[in-house]
């Protein structure tokens, strides 16, 4: 089985968010997919199988399967576009979050994702204790999103990963209005055995609607301020979010998993 590792949301190797991609002829067991994800030890490993005119796509973290992953979808489309079906311009994926469409956008790949339904919730002392700075607002969808007063609060945060597990939400995203970008964010997922996600696409399906409303604009240029860093070119269109970005190949490996 071939396993590709692609750095997503970047033009440069060693930046963005690395995802492993396994393109299968037929499905393997959930247990084996989980074990491969644990062995890869990246934030996500994607598995895809061609089914008719579309691809079935699933994402596994080291801690379990997840319902939506942006960077691993981008990485999967990159692999298909360069190594499997270079003649195709549009890739349709059937997923736990419904159909996701990825299309070529010049050198970038553009993904059409559902926006999460989010609601504003009270800021708590527990959030402040975990983050080390008091949010000015908080929102809940699948994940918890905390708006911080300033960009430097996001960049310099050293959150308490163990205490973070007690907060509601699957992931925690901290975000603030940016100087060179519309927003700057970071994403953490200790509940999935991922401390900090270098660039989180599904997180921006929470973040983009918040900043689109706050800034009164549909197009959002976002920066994920992790150590690796990454750029996302986003657009809010009703209940959908377009996430566009670049990707580059890091490696191609042959997995000896006995199938």
Q: Which of 44, 151, 196, 231 is catalytic?
A: 44
Q: For 184-220, how does the pLDDT look when each residue is reduced to its tens digit (9 = 90+)?
A: 999 999 999 999 999 999 999 999 999 999 999 999 9
Q: Which CATH architecture fits 119-238? A: Roll (3.10)
Task: Give the containing element (helix H, strand E) for 119.
Answer: strand 119-121
All structural domains of the chain with their residue ranges: 2-113+245-254, 119-238
Q: What is the pLDDT along the chain (259 residues), one digit of tens a residue?
A: 999 999 999 999 999 999 999 999 999 999 999 999 999 999 999 999 999 999 999 999 999 999 999 999 999 999 999 999 999 999 999 999 999 999 998 899 999 999 999 999 999 999 999 999 999 999 999 999 999 999 999 999 999 999 999 999 999 999 999 999 999 999 999 999 999 999 999 999 999 999 999 999 999 999 999 999 999 999 999 999 999 999 999 999 999 997 5
204 Cβ neighbours under 8 A, 6+ residues apart? 70, 185, 222, 232, 234, 241, 243
In this structure, whether the domain defined by 2-113+245-254 belongs to CATH 3.40.630.10 is answered with no
Known catalytic membership, residue 44: yes
Q: What is the 3-state secondary structure (H, E, C) of 46-105?
A: EEEEEECCEEEEEEEECCEEECCCHHHHHHHHHHHHHHHCCCCCEEEEEECCEEEEEEEE
Q: What is the 3-state secondary structure (H, E, C) of 154-210?
A: HHHCCCCHHHHCCCCCCCEEEEEECCCCCEEEEEEEHHHCEEEECCCHHHHHHHHHH
d(CA 14, CA 258) in angstroms, rounded, equals 30
Q: For 98-124, how does the pLDDT look when each residue is reduced to its tens digit (9 = 90+)?
A: 999 999 988 999 999 999 999 999 999
- What is the pTM (predicted TM-score) of this model? 0.91
Distances (CA, A) of 252 to 4, 11, 20, 108, 249: 5, 18, 9, 21, 8
């Amino acid at each position: 089985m071939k396993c590709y590792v692609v750095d997503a949301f970047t033009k440069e190797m060693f930046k963005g968010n690395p995802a492993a991609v396994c393109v299968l002829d037929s499905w393997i067991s959930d247990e084996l997919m989980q074990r491969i994800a644990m062995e890869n030890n990246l934030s996500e490993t994607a598995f895809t199988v061609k089914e008719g005119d579309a691809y079935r796509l699933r994402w596994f973290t080291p801690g379990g399967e997840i319902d939506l992953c942006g960077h691993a979808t981008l990485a999967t489309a990159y692999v298909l576009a360069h190594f499997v079906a270079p003649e195709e311009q549009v890739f349709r994926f059937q997923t736990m979050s419904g159909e996701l469409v990825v299309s070529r956008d010049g050198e970038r790949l553009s993904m059409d994702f559902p926006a999460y339904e989010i609601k504003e919730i009270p800021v708590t002392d527990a959030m402040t204790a975990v983050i080390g700075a008091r949010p000015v607002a908080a929102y809940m969808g699948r994940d918890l999103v905390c708006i911080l007063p300033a960009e430097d609060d996001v960049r310099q945060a050293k959150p308490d990963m163990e205490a973070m597990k007690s907060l509601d939400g699957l992931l925690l995203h901290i975000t603030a209005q940016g100087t060179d970008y519309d927003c700057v964010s970071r994403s953490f997922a200790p509940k999935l055995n991922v401390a900090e996600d270098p660039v989180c696409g599904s997180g921006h399906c929470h973040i983009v609607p918040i900043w689109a409303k706050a800034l009164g604009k549909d197009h959002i240029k976002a920066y994920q301020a992790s150590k690796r860093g990454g750029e996302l070119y986003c657009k809010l269109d009703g209940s959908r979010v377009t996430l566009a970005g670049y990707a580059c190949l890091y490696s191609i490996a042959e997995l000896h998993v006995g199938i």
